[in-house]
Chain A
Amino acid sequence: MIDKREAPAGASGLFANEPASAFKSAPSLHPRNRRDFVAGYAFVLPSLVLILVFTFVPTLYGFAVSFTRWDMLSARWTFVGLGNYSALLQSRELWHSLLVTAYYLVGTIPVTMALGLALALALNRKFRGRAFFRLAFYSPVVASTVAVAVVWLWMYDPLSGILNYFLLQLGFPPQKWLTSPATAMPSLILMDVWKHVGYDMVIFLAGLQGIPHQLYEAMDVDGGGRWAKFRHVTWPLLAPTTFFILVISIINRFKVFATIHTMTKGGPVDSTEVIVYFLYQQAFQHFKIGYAFAIAYILFVIIFVLTLAQWKIGKASVHYQ
């Protein structure tokens, strides 16, 4: 019987700060000497300065603006305190866009991860042409979203696009794809899965390669077939990887924008109006900058809380020795 809770040697947990295998002595942040103190900050300095100037300060600036009503064009602005936030939380549009975003997340993430895992499993064994398959499935990740969106937009055209043509030839009814509120989001989801499966696949591959062979050989001795191997060895040991992909996927998908902007512009009838697109419209089409930044901060809080929650859950359920 394998102790499922044993992590393979050498693995360091994603969210563990001081994995036992990396430090022999008790972890302490007390600088050994003054040189360490200086070195520490000196090494971090370039990144720190860059992030301070180009991420931090702009974010704080945006935060300040979220308390005003301003159109960024005129010199006039008025302080409205929490006015933007309260208006937002009571607006139908904010909740609608959050719902749409949630639909998007639920539609893309499980499918992409499941497919990515399946592909990784299939491509984990050495066989001829493996590199070609890996490249093929990863290539959409590499391609520019703008280029890809243009191609898919055309393929999705309900009257003259190639996808409907194929469907017709195969005897299926043509679909409305991006032109109907019911099918627009599923169409975007399909394209998104295509675009990101390769990424999940590669990370799962890396995770799979970290699982020691001996565990599988032990299963062979015990008489386990493929499915048993998966259930008892692969899946549990992939837990940190799965967790990582889940966290990154959620953070990234929340920020989706370019696809919507190029393909549907939030329509039809707002059925694909994800939250970042809603933000963009408020800022650059309705000239309500303060309102837009308030949306940004609400979004940030949501992502932050979600990530924190995942971290806590992750720590509890993904055990290490």
Chain B
Amino acid sequence: MDSFSHALLGKKLLAVAGCAFLFFASVVTVTAQVTIDFWHAMEGPKGPVLKEMVNDFMKQNPKIKVNVSLQGGYTDMVRKVQAGIAANALPDLAMLGQRHGIPQISDSGRLLMLDSILTAEDRKDINPQLFGRYTYQGRLMAMPFAVSVPVLHINATRFKEAGLNPDKPPMTWDELVSYAKKLTRDVDGDGRIDQWGFHVHSDVAWQAYAFIYQNGGTLYGPDGQARLDSPEAVQAMQFWSDLVHKHKVMPAMAHESGSKLFTAGGLAMFQRSSAFIEGAAKQIGNRFDYRVVYLPKGKVYGVPDGGGGLGVFKSTPERERAAVALLKWLTDTKGIARFGRETGYIVFRKSSLGLEEMKSFFAGSPRDLVASREMEHVRSNPVNHADGVVWDGLGNVVEKIELDAKENIPALMKELNSKVNKEIAEARGK
């Protein structure tokens, strides 16, 4: 062959090679995988459930790889996120709890605002009160996911022993007191009470919210200022103090013991999160008749919500898209139904409650049904910087009033109120 055709052949080969390369390159980019990190705070047996769900998500979405890892509890999570922001080492999706820094984390500007991903159907499907916990300065910073409410765990066997009907549990504060009085006894006659009528779990601030809401109070007013010194809030705390000192149905200070005492059978009524149900059932076994009922009302029914939501951290467009996709999958109708069934967290989507598998689930788990019904009474406030102060402050107030019957409750609440407002003002002024 002469040199001219050599050159032509060469050019042809080059062209073919070039096309082949472009073809493979485009195939590779189109099928490129996105890897995202998902940090969660589900300690104990609930973690594996989440992992399973994420595995199923990955099967349905082969282009997205998710690294799921447990970061401890909500407080550990916040520390990790704090360190992560300082060191630029953040995940794509993270589970965040309300008082655990959402305002401060939002201030960092690293969270993606989620208002745009909610459809009109979502807003109809979900109790708007649930968004309060994750709303900062009018924007939704995280999607509700693992939701719990405080419920009343009761020992029906003790009820019957005391001549009370467990099918008619206390529905009001007055009934609560009278029932509890009958259930607080010195069983073995040694002069010391060994069976208590009522107790509250060690997350006392959260339980205090319940009392405040039940009395018609709120934590903040519509103007964003604290309302902890309102008569409703003060009376709620007075009721708490009375339970310990006046009616003597609640032991002072030993809140860590509550769960143990209840599962041992020495506590008739126990106010704690719905997330306790599964573990309690396992530990109680057949030793007594364990049931779950509504929290009684004061002037109204009202409960706080708890748990964690899913937040997305800003990064690259592909990763954000993938993270949002995972978020939507986990929190859609089927996702919430499955998560709730397998972990004991509340199924809070109305559409999920309508699913066949949920109906049969509740038929077999009356306790979870009660918890899920309590959802309609959830109250909440948008978060702000002072939430940590409210939480710690109320915890402190509870300690003080349990230790001393003569504490000046209005003064304590007023002091706390100004502290909270001061914190709010400082945060605004920054």
Chain A residues at the B interface, C-beta cutoff of 8 Å: 71-76, 78, 153, 157-161, 174, 176, 178-181, 267-270, 284-287
A76 lies within 8 A of B86 (CB): no
In the complex, A285→B192 CA distance in Å? Answer: 39
Which residue of the partner chain B has the closest CB to A159? B257
Residues of chain A within 8 A (CB-CB) of B264 are: 160
B261 within 8 A of A: yes
Residues of chain A within 8 A (CB-CB) of B430 are: 76, 78
Chain B residues at the A interface, C-beta cutoff of 8 Å: 75, 78-79, 81-82, 85-86, 101, 104-105, 107-109, 192, 251-254, 256-257, 260-261, 264, 266, 388-389, 392, 395-396, 399-400, 403, 430
- How many A-B pairs have beta carbons closer than 8 Å: the answer is 76
Which residue of the partner chain B has the closest CB to A174? B192
B101 lies within 8 A of A158 (CB): no
Residues of chain B within 8 A (CB-CB) of A267 are: 395, 399
By Cβ-Cβ distance, the 8 closest A-B pairs, closest first, are: A179-B253, A159-B257, A73-B108, A74-B107, A160-B260, A73-B104, A158-B254, A269-B399
Taking the closest CB of chain B, its distance from the CB of A222, in whole angstroms, is 58
Taking the closest CB of chain B, its distance from the CB of A77, in whole angstroms, is 10
Q: Which of A74, A178, A270 has the most CB of B within 10 A?
A: A74
New A-B pairs, 6, CB < 8 Å, besides A75-B108, A287-B104: A71-B104, A74-B109, A75-B109, A76-B430, A267-B395, A267-B399
Given known contacts A160-B261, A267-B399, A284-B78, A71 and B254 CB-to-CB distance under 8 angstroms: no
B82 lies within 8 A of A285 (CB): no
B257 lies within 8 A of A157 (CB): yes
In the complex, A153→B400 CA distance in Å? Answer: 22
Residues of chain A within 8 A (CB-CB) of B256 are: 153, 157, 178-179
Residues of chain B within 8 A (CB-CB) of A72 are: 82, 85-86
Residues of chain B within 8 A (CB-CB) of A176 are: 253-254
B86 lies within 8 A of A159 (CB): no
Residues of chain B within 8 A (CB-CB) of A157 are: 254, 256-257, 260
Residues of chain B within 8 A (CB-CB) of A158 are: 251, 253-254, 257
Residues of chain B within 8 A (CB-CB) of A180 are: 253, 403
A73 lies within 8 A of B101 (CB): yes
Residues of chain B within 8 A (CB-CB) of A74 are: 104, 107-109
Taking the closest CB of chain B, its distance from the CB of A182, in whole angstroms, is 10
In the complex, A283→B101 CA distance in Å? Answer: 12
Taking the closest CB of chain A, its distance from the CB of B347, in whole angstroms, is 32
B399 lies within 8 A of A73 (CB): no
B85 lies within 8 A of A284 (CB): no
Which residue of the partner chain B has the closest CB to A267? B399
In the complex, A303→B109 CA distance in Å? Answer: 39
Residues of chain B within 8 A (CB-CB) of A78 are: 430
Taking the closest CB of chain A, its distance from the CB of B249, in whole angstroms, is 14
Show 21 A/B contacts (Cβ-Cβ < 8 Å), sorted by A. A71-B104, A72-B85, A73-B105, A73-B107, A74-B108, A75-B108, A75-B109, A158-B253, A159-B257, A179-B252, A179-B256, A268-B399, A268-B403, A269-B403, A284-B75, A284-B78, A285-B75, A285-B388, A287-B82, A287-B101, A287-B104
Given known contacts A73-B82, A268-B253, A284-B82, A159 and B260 CB-to-CB distance under 8 angstroms: yes
Taking the closest CB of chain B, its distance from the CB of A151, in whole angstroms, is 14
Residues of chain A within 8 A (CB-CB) of B86 are: 72
Taking the closest CB of chain A, its distance from the CB of B392, in whole angstroms, is 7
Q: Which of B79, B388, B395, B399 contacts A286 (CB 8 A)?
A: B388
In the complex, A245→B329 CA distance in Å? Answer: 59
In the complex, A179→B109 CA distance in Å? Answer: 41
Taking the closest CB of chain B, its distance from the CB of A233, in whole angstroms, is 50
B396 lies within 8 A of A269 (CB): yes
A73 lies within 8 A of B79 (CB): no
A159 lies within 8 A of B253 (CB): no
Residues of chain A within 8 A (CB-CB) of B392 are: 285
In the complex, A181→B252 CA distance in Å? Answer: 12
Taking the closest CB of chain B, its distance from the CB of A71, in whole angstroms, is 5
Which residue of the partner chain B has the closest CB to A70? B86
Which residue of the partner chain B has the closest CB to A153? B256
In the complex, A218→B78 CA distance in Å? Answer: 65
Residues of chain A within 8 A (CB-CB) of B399 are: 267-269
Residues of chain A within 8 A (CB-CB) of B396 are: 269-270
Which residue of the partner chain B has the closest CB to A71? B104
In the complex, A157→B253 CA distance in Å? Answer: 11
Q: Which of A72, A73, A153, A270 has the most CB of B within 10 A?
A: A73
Residues of chain A within 8 A (CB-CB) of B403 are: 180-181, 268-269
Taking the closest CB of chain B, its distance from the CB of A184, in whole angstroms, is 10
Residues of chain A within 8 A (CB-CB) of B82 are: 72-73, 284, 287
